[in-house]
Every structure is written in C-alpha cells, then in structure tokens.
C-alpha cells in the first residue's frame, strides 16, 4: 500500500472540459474510481489555469478544443509553472501536429473521443502510482490513440 492509499497525500485531479455533459460524466467517473482524490473542474483553459494556480493538482485531464484558451496553450502554461504535472489529453481530433505539440511538452497520453473510460482510468491509476512512488519522467503504458 503506497502513501496515497494510506491517506498521507491526497491526489488532486483537475478536469478541464467545455462540454458540460462530458465534464459531468468525467467528474462522476473520477469520483467513483478515485474517491481518495480531490477533484477540481474548469470549463475552459483560462479557468483551468486559475484552478491550477489555486489548487496545484497533480493530474490534469483536458480537452483540446475549448473557447478562450485551448488545451494546448493551457498545458504549456501549466507545464511552465509545474513541469512534473501529469496530463491526459482528450479530444475528438486525431491530428499529428497536435500530438507532436503535446509530445514536445512531455505529454504522452492522448485519448480520442468518444472516450474509452477504461483507458482513462488506467492512465490515472498509473499516474497515481508514479506520484506515490516518487517516480517522474516515465509515462504510463497507455497507447496513444
């Protein structure tokens, strides 16, 4: 049992999604699968950055296409503040240029919509294990989709 499971460190997860229904589903799933986590949410990248500054979550789950500030620019800003932040990117787009931008930031988990919830849960579990063990720099064995 790691420190996270013992309650010594509470993991923070920020969900940034402009689709209200998709955001609600993601929050419910995360709350059910990871009751030990503290969840935060934002409807766009601008609010996402504000929530990140206030709460400093360990993991960010984000959409790419959002009004105001997209997921790419938000991720870039968050990585500049705290490079070790883990990301899972959700999108309806399968564009190599977007994947390349995320890879350049060290973000390797890119899941296409409609979302495979099993892959999302597996990615978050692996990240929690990494955070709990103090490992950094390794990516979950979750394929880019």
The 10s digit of each residue's pLDDT in 62-80 is 998 888 899 999 999 999 9
Q: What angle in degrees, to the nearest 10, is found between the helix axes of 71-81 and 45-55? A: 20
Averaged pLDDT, 7-23: 87
CATH tag for 3-133 (out of 3.40.50.2000, 3.30.870.10, 3.40.50.2300, 3.30.43.10): 3.40.50.2300
Task: Tell me the average pLDDT of the chain.
Answer: 85
As a whole number of angstroms, the distance between CA 71 and CA 3 comes to 31
Confidence category of residue 1, pLDDT binned at 50, 70, 90: very low
Distance of CA 109 to the CA centre of its chain: 9
Q: What is the pLDDT of residue 108?
A: 83
29-38, 42-51, 60-69, 88-97: least confidently modelled range: 88-97
> From its phi and psi, is residue 101 left (phi > 0), alpha (psi between -120 and 50) or beta?
alpha
- Phi first, then psi: what are they for 11, rounded to 5°? -75, 145
């Amino acid at each position: 049992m790691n420190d996270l499971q013992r309650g010594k460190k509470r993991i923070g997860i920020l969900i940034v999604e402009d689709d209200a229904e998709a955001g609600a589903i993601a929050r419910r799933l995360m709350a059910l699968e990871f009751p030990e986590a503290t969840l935060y949410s934002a409807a766009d990248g601008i609010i996402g950055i504000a929530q990140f500054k206030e709460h400093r979550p360990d993991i960010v789950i984000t959409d790419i296409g959002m009004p105001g500030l997209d997921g790419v620019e938000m991720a870039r800003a968050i990585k500049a503040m705290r490079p070790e932040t883990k990301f899972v990117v959700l999108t309806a787009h399968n564009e190599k240029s977007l994947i390349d931008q995320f890879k350049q930031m060290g973000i390797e988990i890119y899941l296409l919509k409609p979302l495979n919830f099993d892959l999302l849960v597996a990615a978050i579990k692996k990240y929690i294990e990494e955070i709990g063990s103090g490992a950094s720099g390794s990516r979950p064995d979750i394929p880019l989709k």
